[in-house]
Chain A
């Protein structure tokens, strides 16, 4: 498809980076459960290129809570693509979450 002389067009069509997420929850408590459910649903619907979601229980992995400076639970880190974004809550406001994750694609973009 491309030849060595066609370096420019390649840069203009970057391979979409896979969404990598880390979600901190506190066991099966209500907001945490809601957060896990909603986030999966949202990603399944909007993230066509796939995603990796790691769920960390703050009771089971306290060291990670310290290293990531988690303040309140549930907390979501969008690790990739950069920049890192932090979202807190149970993802009730879907458009806001989609925007934060870079998943809102207005038509014609």
Chain B
């Protein structure tokens, strides 16, 4: 086989092939077996000519789809629209043709849409508000793409009704918000419940403390009431039964004991009554102007105290404006406490501070345990110390002092004495000497 012969053979074969393809094409065209013909424009581009039947399924598809569809020319005017778009706009189909699609958009969105249309070389989409012919509006998604046709560019528009999605979104947002609100409410309620629970627990604990205190108080009060009563009953029975057997002196002693125990009983009952009145708000005060130094002296005399063991520092000019009985009760309680629970030397000092007179009763005993100080002026307060254990008492004294001080416009509190001991303070309203 020579190269020349081979070349000719090949050429013949090529031509035969091309002829066969041409004949095959003609045959198929004549037989109506062809859908489309591809033409070369000569500029490296081909154009496809479709036969009438070729378009039909696409037409059908576009007309029946649930989106609106339109083709717009280079000026943006609609040259084709499907029935669905006309329905979305609420217009007869023919009214759409020859008008720009932007006419049916919300005015504020038109320039944005026109810009998109002009620059949509590779397609894109955006949300818009469609103005329907009936005046209503509709959220839509408008997709834009470009197709190059022989007589210029065509814009393909697809319009999707977003109302159902928007409604769904709104419903979801609403539900979400509702859930968030509910959650916050629940959290708040939970917090409130916690606070309430803690409050109830605290109240329960307090009640329990008070309950225990009342039980202790009842026992202490009964005991305190009983001791003088036993004395009184015992001595009076003895005297009744064996009056004659006792000497005159003995009988006098017995009667004196009965008397002093009756006094104790009376004081105790007074305490209980006072405490009850303070608590019930039924305490009445009759304030008078009192020379404080005199009141202190009387208190010490009545209390049978060795006046020598108490030093008093009080200007004779100091006047207080309080109920005299209440003042006596306060001073007596402070001084008695100083001897019962503290240790001498006991000192009473009074000074004027502004509108008030401050009276301090100091001793040199062990002082009040710091953890007991907050409850010191409470009812039934008895610290757990050797000094308190050694003494009888209802635990009412200091609560009565505070109640009386407050009822008279004053205050009562405790401070530790330095270097040791207690300092009980009462502040009372100062008064001016009459005629001063």
Contacts and interface: CB of A to CB of B under 8 A. Distances in A.
A71 B33 contact: no
A92 B36 contact: no
Interface string A30-57: 1110010000000000000000000000
A25 to B, nearest CB: 8
Given A65-B38, A71-B38, A88-B24, A58 B48 contact: yes
Given A59-B48, A89-B34, A28 B27 contact: no
Interface string B21-33: 1001101110111
Interface size range of chain B in the complex: 20 to 34
Interface string A42-83: 000000000000000011001001100011111000000000
Contacts of B391: none
A98 interface: no
B46 A29 contact: no
A62 B46 contact: yes
B33 A73 contact: no
Contacts, number: 81
Interface string A81-106: 00000111110100000000000000
Contact of B24 (A32, A59, A87): A87
A57 B36 CA distance: 12
A100 B36 CA distance: 22
A55 to B, nearest CB: 14
Contacts of B54: 26-27, 29-30
Contacts of B25: 71-72, 88
B53 interface: yes
Given A29-B53, A29-B54, A65-B46, A72 B27 contact: no
**Size bracket of the A interface:** 20 to 34
Nearest to A86: B21
A72 B28 contact: yes
B38 A89 contact: no
Contact of B37 (A27, A62, A71): A71
Contact of A26 (B28, B44, B48): B48
B161 to A, nearest CB: 27
B24 A30 contact: no
B20 A86 contact: yes
Given A26-B54, A28-B57, A86-B24, A72 B38 contact: yes
A74 B35 CA distance: 7
* Chain A CB within 10 Å, residue with most, of B24, B32, B36: B36
Nearest to B23: A88
B24 A26 contact: no
Nearest to B26: A88
Interface in B44-90: 44, 46, 48, 50-51, 53-55, 57-58
A26 B50 contact: yes
Nearest to A34: B33
Contact of A92 (B33, B48, B50, B55): B33
A27 B24 contact: no
Contact of B57 (A29, A31, A73): A29
B46 A66 contact: yes
A31 B46 contact: no
B89 to A, nearest CB: 29
Contacts of A65: 38, 46, 48
A72 B34 contact: yes
List the 7 closest pairs (A to B, CB-CB), nearest first. Answer: A89-B33, A89-B28, A29-B54, A88-B28, A29-B35, A90-B33, A26-B36
19 contacts: A26-B48, A31-B53, A66-B44, A71-B21, A72-B28, A72-B36, A72-B38, A73-B38, A73-B48, A74-B33, A74-B35, A86-B20, A86-B24, A87-B24, A88-B33, A89-B24, A89-B34, A90-B28, A92-B31
Interface of A: 25-32, 35, 58-59, 62, 65-66, 70-74, 86-90, 92
Interface of B: 17, 20-21, 24-25, 27-29, 31-38, 44, 46, 48, 50-51, 53-55, 57-58
